[in-house]
Amino acid sequence: MDVNVGIKKMVRSLVIGVFMGMLYYLVYVVIFPTLFSKILPNTEIPKLPGLYIPVFILFTALGLANSLIREHPISLPLKLLSKILGALVMLVLLNFGIIEGEIALNGVLVEYNMDISPLLYTLILFSLLIFP
């Protein structure tokens, strides 16, 4: 009976851990960068195929470890590490908030360089506070 309860608890922790890792990946790597690229003109997320799989694995591993040892004090820095990693990946994908491109103004082609990092840092700050 106790073994069954233990297995159930372990499986539950595994599922929660994988789910949390996927949630972090979705929010920081997929949702936030895509939102920014859609709402701002002429911005594209750089294609970094070498980054996606390791980041996904790392997020899932951190989520899993965090869920399995959530009673232990070390789970707190692990949780923080997931959030910081997410923020870092998002910053890399969005070029640390620097958007560059060309736009026609008054018939002249103009190069622009816009710094939206204050918005990104505010978003990261609130996501660190809000996320579980």
Partner 1 sequence: MNNLLKLGIILAAFLILSAMLAPLLIFAHELISKPDLISFKVSYEQLNETSIKLVFNITYKGIIKLDDVKLEVLNKTLYLGNMQSNTTISKHITLNMNSIPKHLEILMSLRIAGIYSLKLRIRGV
One of 40, 81, 85, 91 touching partner 1 (CB under 8 A)? 40
Smallest distance from partner 1 to CB 48, Å: 24
- Determine, following the binding rule CB under 8 A, whether residue 1 of this chain makes contact with partner 1: no
In the complex, minimum distance from the CB of residue 122 to partner 1, in angstroms, rounded to a whole number: 6
* Cα distances (Å, whole numbers) of residue 103 to 33, 41, 70, 109, 112: 21, 10, 50, 6, 7
**23 is a contact residue toward partner 1 (CB under 8 A):** no
d(CA 14, CA 8): 10
User: Of the candidates 4, 39, 47, 50, which one interacts with partner 1 according to CB under 8 A?
Assistant: 39
84 binds partner 1 (CB under 8 A): no
Exposure string of 97-126, with b = 16+ CB inside 10 Å and e = fewer, is: bebeeeeeeeeeeeeeeeebeeebeeebee
State the residues that interact with partner 1 by CB under 8 A: 39-41, 103-116, 118-119, 122-123, 126, 129-130
